Structures are given as C-alpha cells and as structure tokens.
C-alpha cells in the first residue's frame, strides 16, 4: 500500500536489463583478447565472433528469468537486500539457461568469454539499480509519492493501527490521522440519514488531511458501515482499505495486502494485475511511438489546416477524468470555434429520460476543417502524446468530462477502474451515435473482460470504423 507499483519504471527496468546483457556481450567479446597474456587462458587472434542471434536471445532469456523471479515486483523488493538477493538467484539460473542454449547451438563460444559476459551483465544490473536507489533517496521529496493515511474506526483499535504504521519501515509514510467514530454525530442514527452525515464527515476529513489512503477499522458489530463509507469515497482518487483484524468480508474486486503487520483488504483492487498492466503499457509506448512517426506528415497537415481555417491555437486542451478519478489535460486538434466552451449551453439539452445530451450531429460550434478532422478521427491523433505520458492508453473507456462524472451513478464509476483510451469497445460499436455517459455498459464490459487480445481486436476494428466514418461528428 505504501509503495505503488510503477508500470513505467518496470518497463524501464526491463529495457535497461536487456541493454546490460547486450552491452556485456559486445564489450566482453572485445575485452577477451586482452586475456591472452594469462597462462591458463587460450590465446585468440582477435575479437570473438559469435552468431548475431545471440544478441537477441541472451537479453530475452535474462529478462524472462528475472521476471520469473519477480525482480520487477517493487512490492516484493522494497529493500535493496531483497532485490539484490533475488537478482543474484535469477542471474545464476539465467547463466545456466544461457549455457544450455550455447551447448545445444553454438559450442564454439569461449567458456572464458561466457563467464565474462555473465559476470559483466550481473555487475551492470546491480550497478544501475544501486545508482537509481541512490537517486531516489536523494530526490525522495519529488520522486516518491508521500503517503497520508486516514484511519477511521474506534479507539483503542485505531490507536494500535497508528502505532504499527508509524513503526513500519516505510520511508513514504508522511502522516497518519485518526477519525474516532465513537463521538461523531450521525454514526448511531439509522441509515440512510446517518450514512449521509458520516459520509460528509469522512470526506471532509480526507480533504483536510489530503489523504492518499483510508483504512476502515470497525468491529464486526459495525461492519455494515463499511459499504456506506466506501461508497462516499468512490469518486476520490485514493486507496480504500479494511483492516481484516476487525471484520471478515466476501467482496468482489478485493485483494489482500500486508502492511506493517496489519492484514488489509483493498476495496479497489485494480482491474488490471501488475503484469497485465506492464504488457499493456509496453505496447502503448511501442505502438504510440510508431504511430507518431508514421502519422507525422498527417499531424503536420492537420495542424496547418486548423491554423489556416480558424487561426491559433491549433491544439485544444481539456480537463478529463482518468483512471481512479484523476484529472488530466487531454490534447486534441481544435475542431470548434475558440469560444466553444462558453457556448456549451446552446447545444446541451435533456432528453425525455432526463439524461444530459452535450453533443449533437449539427453542432454549430464545429468549424469546417473540424468536421473533416472529426469525420476521420484525425483530431484524436495528438492524444498519442497523452498515451506516451501514461495519462491514457490506446484502448480503454473514453476519458469523460468532470462535470458529467460528478453526476455518475455508483455503478457507472466502474469504468474509471482502468486507464482511459483513444479508442474502446464503446467507440467501435457506435462512436458519437451513442453518448459515452449514457452507455457505460460497454465500458464496464471491457473492464470486466479485459485481455490483451481484446485490445488488439478493438484496435483492428477501429481502423475499419474510422475508414467508413461511422457515427463520427
């Protein structure tokens, strides 16, 4: 709980480890000739030549085995000694695996060179990790997410939890605050009257503390309040936990984590597990960089068209709601007149079911070039930058406007459990013909049935939907 899984850093670690093995192969194949002077080493006339496919296979084998040993799981390797121990074990297994590959394929590979490569790769992997740990420690005020924990429950139990938290080894823990419900108004009233008062009380305390995590610690006789308090925090970007010492739960989308000796149930288990998230993030980065390179002429042309048609600014930034309710600035080519936001009231209407409609087919705010860009979804291309920054994914629920999310029903918030996407299941089934805040069932289907193959299916289907321009306006 007190150290978040960093997808970007995992991908970075995998790339650096692979590069370390590659560099070890290249460097040691040239360094080997310097060992000719040693009496127990065979003399060679020049740099060692080996099949080029080893440059690919060795790094892949090394990284795969490190992943199998959970080297890239930050929660398991919080301490340096744990990480270096696991790395040593994984490096030993990787060396044996690489030796087996050479025995079956290329026996001419020098044994001395092999030992040099393994040793060099091992040292490089240790060195870069130690350097980065030193950097993180020196810059922890900017690189580490400071954790402020609010514990809600009854004394003396919450006091015990506070002591355990403060005695933990986490350097990220900045503050622990207690909210004793014994004397609070509304807690002993009948729900829903009491639930409303308690919800407002907890939310006010979360804002006052600027909490990043809330721990709910109630005895069994008061366990019915857990759902009420968790619901009132649904729209806030924080972790919500239940101390298992005090209540047993059987809930969906939960996971258990041990922190400072306290078993906690997380009520916001991520829809994507750690490795699914790494794979998804890796593909996002690779495909987005490739798409930016491929479509760079199209991006320049679209920008020029907007500039000639309606002047500056070329880009339009708008606040949107991302994963877990986090707000970010989404980037698009500007397709509306400059004062479009102030004219929003001219096009918004409420349908016969009381639903707010904020987008119409003949929106008078859309410019001439804007209609063309929207027709083929070219206005969305700058969002590739949001993807590279980690604010969005290529595939996922579309990021919604904050004022619309504020009016979500409880069940609709489930679409915020994954990173928002440039395209998604909702878009390929109807695009603008179906308002996203009125058809969140499709986004929830995506969240509940996520797989990398579903992402590929949506991406391929998006190509054809864009070509035919179905539902775009």
Percent of the chain's residues with pLDDT above 90: 19
Q: pLDDT by residue (tens digit) across 72-105?
A: 877 666 677 778 888 888 999 999 998 888 888 8
More confident residue, 402 or 411: 402
Give 259's contacts (C-beta < 8 A, 6+ positions apart): 1, 2, 165, 168
Q: What is the DSSP letter of 264?
A: E
Section 41-58 average pLDDT: 72
Computed over every residue of the chain, the mean pLDDT equals 78
Break the chain into its structural domains and give their ranges: 7-140, 145-266, 274-468
260 — pLDDT class (breaks 50, 70, 90): low
Helices 7-31 + 111-138 axis angle, to 10: 140
HSE-up (13 A, CA, CB side) for residue 227: 9
Question: For residue 89, with 0-12 CB atoms within 10 Å meaning exposed, 13-18 middle and 19 or more buried, which class applies?
Answer: middle
The pLDDT assigned to 155 comes to 77
Q: Is the preceding omega at residue 271 within 30 degrees of 0, hence cis?
A: no
More confident residue, 413 or 393: 393
What's the CA gap between 364 and 418, in Å, rounded?
33
Strands (E), 146-218: 147-153, 173-180, 213-217
Instruction: Say yes or no to pLDDT of 184 above 70.
Output: no
Q: pLDDT by residue (tens digit) across 336-350?
A: 887 766 666 566 655
The pLDDT assigned to 450 comes to 84
More confident residue, 199 or 35: 199
120 — pLDDT class (breaks 50, 70, 90): very high
Helices 296-310 + 274-294 axis angle, to 10: 70
The pLDDT assigned to 128 comes to 93
What's the CA gap between 107 and 111, in Å, rounded?
9
Torsion of CA 392, 394, 398, 402, to 10 degrees: 10
The pLDDT assigned to 52 comes to 82
Q: Is 272 helix (H, G, I), strand (E, B) or coil?
A: coil
Nearest Cα neighbor of 373 from 305, 471, 468, 291 is 305
Torsion of CA 314, 460, 463, 394, to 10 degrees: -10
Nearest Cα neighbor of 437 from 417, 460, 418, 409 is 409
Strand partners, 258: 263
Tokens for 198, please give them: 């308690």
The pLDDT assigned to 422 comes to 92
Q: pLDDT by residue (tens digit) across 2-47?
A: 344 467 888 889 999 999 999 998 888 777 666 655 555 655 655 5
Section 103-132 average pLDDT: 86
What's the CA gap between 415 and 411, in Å, rounded?
9
The pLDDT assigned to 276 comes to 81
More confident residue, 274 or 63: 63
Tokens for 391, please give them: 């604010």
Is it true that domain 145-266 has CATH number 1.10.287? no
Question: For residue 97, with 0-12 CB atoms within 10 Å meaning exposed, 13-18 middle and 19 or more buried, which class applies?
Answer: middle
Instruction: Say yes or no to pLDDT of 441 above 80.
Output: no
Q: Is the preceding omega at residue 53 within 30 degrees of 0, hence cis?
A: no
Instruction: Say yes or no to pLDDT of 251 above 50.
Output: no
């Amino acid at each position: 709980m007190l150290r978040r899984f960093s997808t970007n850093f995992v991908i970075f670690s995998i790339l650096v480890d692979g590069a370390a093995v590659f560099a070890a192969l290249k460097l040691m194949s040239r360094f080997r000739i310097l060992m000719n002077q040693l009496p127990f080493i065979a003399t060679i006339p020049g740099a060692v030549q080996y099949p080029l496919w080893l440059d690919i296979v060795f790094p892949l084998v090394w990284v795969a085995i490190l992943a199998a040993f959970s080297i890239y799981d930050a929660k398991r390797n919080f301490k340096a000694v744990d990480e270096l121990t696991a790395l040593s074990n994984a490096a030993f297994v990787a060396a044996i695996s690489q030796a087996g590959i050479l025995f079956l394929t290329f026996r001419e590979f020098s044994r001395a060179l092999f030992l040099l490569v393994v040793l060099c790769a091992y040292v490089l992997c240790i060195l870069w990790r130690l350097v980065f740990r030193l950097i993180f420690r020196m810059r922890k005020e900017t690189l580490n997410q400071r954790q402020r924990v609010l514990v809600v429950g009854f004394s003396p139990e919450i006091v015990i939890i506070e002591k355990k938290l403060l005695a933990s080894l986490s350097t990220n823990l900045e503050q622990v605050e207690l909210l004793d419900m014994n004397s609070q108004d509304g807690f002993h009233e009948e729900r829903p009257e009491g639930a409303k008062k308690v919800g407002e009380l907890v939310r006010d305390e979360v804002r006052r503390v600027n909490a990043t995590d809330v721990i709910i610690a109630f005895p069994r006789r008061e366990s019915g309040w857990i759902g009420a308090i968790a619901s009132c925090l649904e729209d806030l970007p924080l972790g919500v936990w239940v101390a298992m010492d005090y209540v047993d739960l059987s809930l969906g989308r939960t996971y258990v984590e041990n922190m400072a000796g306290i078993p906690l149930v997380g009520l916001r288990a991520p829809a994507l597990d750690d490795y699914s998230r790494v794979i998804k993030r890796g593909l996002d980065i690779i495909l987005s960089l490739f798409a930016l390179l491929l479509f760079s002429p199209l991006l320049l042309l679209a920008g020029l068209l907007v500039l000639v048609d309606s002047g500056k600014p070329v880009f339009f930034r708008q606040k949107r709601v991302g994963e877990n309710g986090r707000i970010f600035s989404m980037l698009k080519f500007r397709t509306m007149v400059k004062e479009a936001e102030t004219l929003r009231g001219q096009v918004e209407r409420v349908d016969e079911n009381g639903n707010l409609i904020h987008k119409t087919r003949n929106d008078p705010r859309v410019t001439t070039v804007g209609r063309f860009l929207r027709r083929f979804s070219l206005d969305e291309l700058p969002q590739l930058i949001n993807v590279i920054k980690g604010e969005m994914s290529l595939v996922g629920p579309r990021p919604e406007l904050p004022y619309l999310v504020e009016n979500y029903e409880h069940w609709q918030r489930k679409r915020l459990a994954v990173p928002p996407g440039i395209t998604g299941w909702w878009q390929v089934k109807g695009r603008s013909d179906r308002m996203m805040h009125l058809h969140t069932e499709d986004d929830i289907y995506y969240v509940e049935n996520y797989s990398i193959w579903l992402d590929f299916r949506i991406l391929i289907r998006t190509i054809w939907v864009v070509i035919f321009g179905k539902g775009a306006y």
